[in-house]
Amino acid sequence: MKIAYLDGIRLYRVLYAGIQSLLDEQDYLNKINVFPVPDGDTGTNMAFTLMGIIEHIQPHSRLDLNELSNIVADAALDNARGNSGVIMAQFFQGLSIGLKPFAEVNTSQFAEATKIAVDESYTALMNPVEGTILSVLRAWSDRFIAASKTSPDFQKVWKISLQAAQKALEYTPEQLKVLKDAGVVDAAGRGFLSILEGVMNFMNTGNIRKLPNIDTSFSAVALDINEIDVDSLSFPFCTECMVIGEDIPRDKLSQTIKPLGDSIVIAGSKHRAKVHIHTDDPATLFETLATYGEVQQQKVDDMREQNKSVRSQQKIALVVDSTCDLPVDLLEKHHIHVVPVRLNFGKEQYIDRVTISNEEFYTKLAHSAHHPQTSQPPPADFRRMYQFLSSHYESVISLHLPQVLSGTYQNASAALEKVKFKQHQTILDSLSVSAGTGVIALELAEAIDQDMSFPELTQLAEETIEKTEIFIALKTLDAVQKGGRLSVGKKRLIDFLGLNLVLSITRNGLLKPCGVTFGRKNIFEKFKKFVLKKAHNKSIKRIGIVHGVNPDTAETMKVVFESAYPDAQVFVSDFCPALGVHAGVGAIGIALQYN
């Protein structure tokens, strides 16, 4: 039987079928994930992103094609996680553009929409790389376009284009050496192919295995921040999440978490429950909810900080991510807004420094069977932050991890494009990490306090980034090796030679060794001398010292550097858990900001 058109109802069905197919392969995709970093999270990121689409389209199955595709695009952007998730989100953005004129389409019209979608996918990356999901997307679309010129049957055209996508995926190891060396295909490309295969199976059989029927009647509690008395807030954290389980008793769940807060709203089904609560202990809340099922999509907003923003007289907001290591008192003093990175130990999901403390993180790092994984904040987290700040500030500067190291910069950019401040807005690459980003943020925050203009501020930022360095010494290489960033063989060789690597950020934003010390005894004494030599005869304005549960060494370093540079501002902070994943226990970092 020929399929001559695609409308909203049919798009709804094929999305269901395709996404279910990807969910079935989630663990496999994690296992074959070696590019761009072998951190084993591609399947998880794609699944989180696409499940967000399912949650949003369930009440809209009867819409016209163009209306439904627009909802899909918005849901994908708001729920995008990881690089693969952002690419997929941009793909759906492009598809919605291509489908905008149509209530239903034939094969030729859909083919043209796929071309726009693929073109948009490439724009999601600063430096698109072939041999990835992009190559599979392009091959599928190109063959779909060609086949649509000779056949009006979606089933036939889909089969032909699916074969092209399969060949493109098989060819990815020839395009990327890292894939060939590992003996795998691109994980995200395989994820997209699994979606296509799910759609093909549905076209052939007409069968969709049901996903949970989610009740989407939940809406967040409206809150007038201007009416809040900060001192009277017993439960300052506006907290939301999704609980996934079997036969979740919502009434019982509500009673269980009642002692933990107020403004409780719970909606969903027996398998998925959306929870909203104001609490003073998000970590305990999520631990409690975990007894009912798997906790996902955690979101925590500090209403006290929101209230300070409302009352702030500043015109320019400064936003960082949680890898910007600064003491809490400095963050609060200068009204620096933090968007937290996500991390997980296996299926246990955490929000950096919000639902897991440094002490808890390093305890789990030492004892958990799973080495933790990190994921940049999804665009939705940034968008929510920017939307709130745009109501209370005229401009924003958002300072983040180097874009070559993380998709954080990319996600922030995608979100900021959707929000308009009254005056100015920009995203900055810090070209640093941890306390390096911290000393840059402090320079900008003090300038904002002094009412520096936006053009002057961006110029200052460029100069400050240029004048900032960070050096990092690892106590062991265990975390680097477990995280897949160092092979077992290289680790053994480095340990055998008694080398202690000193890491730094290059001018291109890459984290690389900048030197070595020799001998495993007194590692940090040697590191101190290394940094002092690097700083010799230089005028220093700020020094940031960070540590991974190594406070005694950090305090010793503080005394030494305060003595050597009495005019410099010196602070000590912890390595945030998101960086501790890679630095491990005992690491020490020293950031220098020159005059």
Instruction: Look at residue 140 and tell me whether its pLDDT is greater than 90.
Output: yes
Q: What is the pLDDT of residue 484?
A: 58
**Angle (CA) 366 370 374, round 5°:** 95
Q: Under DSSP, is residue 525 helix (H, G, I), strand (E, B) or coil?
A: helix
* Nearest CA among 33, 55, 24, 385 for reference residue 195: 24
pLDDT at position 224 is: 37
Please state the rounded mean pLDDT for residues 23-50. 77
**pLDDT of amino acid 223:** 30
Q: Nearest to residue 176, comparing CAs of 143, 128, 142?
A: 128
**Count of C-beta atoms within a 10 Å radius of residue 532:** 14
Quote the mean pLDDT of the chain.
84
Task: Choose among 314, 326, 334, 330: nearest CA to 452.
Answer: 314
As a whole number, mean pLDDT of residues 326-335 equals 92
Q: Between residues 18 and 82, which one has the greater pLDDT?
A: 18
322 near 341, Cβ under 8 Å?
Answer: yes
Written as one string, the DSSP assignment of 316-350 is EEEEEETTB---HHHHHHTTEEEEPPEEEETTEEE
Per-residue confidence (pLDDT) for residue 39, from 0 to 100: 54
Model confidence at 253: pLDDT above 70: yes
Q: How far apart, in Å, do the first and last CA atoms of the chain sit? A: 74
Q: Which of 412, 287, 265 is nearest to 351 (CA)?
A: 287
484-532 pLDDT tens trace:
565 666 667 766 666 778 888 888 888 888 888 887 788 889 899 999 9
Pairing of strands 316-321, 294-302: unpaired
Q: Is the pLDDT of residue 126 over 60?
A: no
Question: Which tokens is 276 given?
Answer: 């909203």
Assign 221 a pLDDT band (cuts: 50, 70, 90).
Answer: very low
* Band (55; pLDDT cuts 50, 70, 90): confident
The count of C-alpha atoms lying within 13 angstroms of the C-alpha of 454, restricted to the half-sphere facing its C-beta, is: 18
Instruction: Please indicate whether residue 595 or residue 217 has the higher confidence score (pLDDT).
Output: 595
Residue 536, classified by CB atoms within 10 Å of its CB into exposed (0-12), middle (13-18) or buried (19+), is: exposed
User: How many whole angstroms separate alpha carbon 70 and alpha carbon 384?
Assistant: 19
Buried b (16+ CB within 10 A) or exposed e, 367-390: eeeebbbbbbbbbbbbbbbbebbb
Which pLDDT value is given to residue 392?
79
pLDDT confidence band for 427 (50 / 70 / 90): very high
* Tens digits of residue pLDDT in 532-569: 999 888 999 999 999 988 999 999 999 999 999 999 99
pLDDT band at 84 (very low <50, low <70, confident <90, very high): confident
Quote the radius of gyration of the chain (alpha carbons, Å): 25
Instruction: Report whether 464 contacts 444 (CB < 8 A).
Output: yes
Q: Are 345 and 364 in contact (CB under 8 A)?
A: yes
Each residue of 388-402: pLDDT tens digit? 788 778 999 999 999
Give the range with max mean pLDDT: 16-25, 38-47, 266-275: 16-25
114 with 195: CB under 8 angstroms?
no
Evaluate if residue 172 carries a pLDDT over 90.
yes
Q: Which domains does the chain have, with CATH numbers?
A: 6-205 (1.25.40.340), 226-303 (3.30.70.250), 468-594 (3.30.1180.10)
Asked if pLDDT for residue 274 goes beyond 80, the answer is no
Q: Provide the pLDDT confidence category of residue 189 given band limits of 50, 70 and 90.
A: very high
Token code pair at residue 213: 């029927």
pLDDT tier, 110 (very low <50, low <70, confident <90, very high otherwise): very high
Q: Is the pLDDT of residue 107 over 60?
A: yes
